[in-house]
Amino acid sequence: MLSRSTRYSGPALLLLIVALTSGCARSGFFVESHDLKELSAAVSQQEREIAFLQNLTLEQQRLILSQQDHSTDRIVNSIREQVEKPSCPPAQEQKSCPTQTRSADQKTRTDKLNGKLIVGELEKFFLVGPNFVYDARIDSGATTSSIDARNIKRFERNGENWVRFDVPIPGDEENFKTLEREIVRNVRIVQANEEDYDRRPVVELQFAMGDHQQKAEFTLTERAHMTHPILIGRNILRDVMLIDVGKEYATELPPVAESNAN
C-alpha cells in the first residue's frame, strides 16, 4: 500500500509548497521593507545618543581630572611653604649709647611693676612745704599714714577747723618747724589698757617718694618714742605701691628734691 505522500502528483506537490511558503511569510518569518527602514532609523538614533553620551562622559572626566590637578598643586605649594626654612634678617650692629650726666631737675628712675612703685620696708620721704627729707617706715598693717607732730593746737580760721603743729627738723632733734593745715577729719584712737580714747586730727600733706608725688591724709601724733617720724599706711600704698620686704630704700628721690631739702 502506498504512503500518503505518494498520492500527490508533481503539480499538486508544487502548489502545496507554495501554499506552505506563503503561510510562513504571513506568520512572521519575513519582515516587510517599511519595517526594516523604521528599525534602521531607530538603530541610527541610538548610535547617535550613545556617541553623545560618550563625548559627555569624556568631557566630565577631563573636567574632574583638571580640578584634581589644581587641588594637588595647591596642596603641594602649601606643604612647600610650611616646610621651607624661614630666613632670618641679618643682625644689626648694636650701637653703644653715650653716658649721660643727669641734670638736677631730672627724675630718678625707680622700679615699678604693673605701674606700681616698688618700695622697701624703709624709704626716703620728701615732705613738700618745709622741704624736709625723713626716713619713713612702710607698714601695710596701718590703715592711715601718720607723721610726728608736737604742740598740736586746734583753731578756727574763716569758719573752718584748722590745726597748728610742729614737725622735727631732720638731723636736729632740738628744733622744729611750725606748720598750719586745715583739718580734714578726726580719728578716734583707743589707748591700750585704757577706757579713754584719743581724738586726733587728720590733715593732707604733699610728699614725694622716688618719682611718685602725691597728696594724702596723715594723722598728727607724737612719735618721739618711735624710731621713724613717718609711717606710710594702706591709704597711700593701696593701688600705688608694692612692698618688697627684703629691701630697704628701694627708691631714690629726684635730685631736685634732695637739693631743696634743708
pLDDT in tens, 75-115: 766 666 555 555 555 555 544 444 344 444 444 556 788 88
More confident: 71 or 169: 169
Place of cell 649709647: 97
Residue 137 and residue 182 share a domain: yes
Residue 242 and residue 152 share a domain: yes
Residue 7 maps to a domain: no
Contact by Cβ (8 Å): 261, 127: no
Is 50 exceeded by the pLDDT of residue 151?
yes
Using 50, 70 and 90 to split pLDDT, how confident is the model at 26? very low
Residue 25 maps to a domain: no
Of all residues in the chain, the percent with pLDDT exceeding 90 is 39
Q: Output the CA torsion 18→24→27→28 (10° steps).
A: -130
Domain total in the chain:
2
Residues 209-249 pLDDT 10s:
998 999 999 999 999 888 999 999 999 999 899 999 889 99
Residue 229 and residue 154 share a domain: yes
Contact by Cβ (8 Å): 165, 153: yes
Residue 68 and residue 154 share a domain: no
Residue 100 maps to a domain: no
Mean pLDDT of 12-25: 51
Residue 76 and residue 195 share a domain: no
CA-closest candidate to residue 230, choices 138, 116, 154: 138
Is 80 exceeded by the pLDDT of residue 194?
no
Residue 116 maps to a domain: yes
Residue 150 maps to a domain: yes
Pairing assessment for the beta strands 230-232 and 132-138 based on DSSP bridges: parallel
pTM of the model: 0.57
At 70 the pLDDT is: 73
Residue 251 and residue 123 share a domain: yes
Residue 69 is part of which domain span?
Answer: 32-80
Residue 141 and residue 65 share a domain: no
Mean pLDDT of 4-21: 51
Lowest-confidence region among 73-87, 108-122, 185-199: 73-87
Residue 93 maps to a domain: no
Which alpha helices (H) appear in 25-105, and where do they start and end? 33-83
Residue 232 maps to a domain: yes
At 245 the pLDDT is: 85
At 105 the pLDDT is: 44
Residue 5 maps to a domain: no
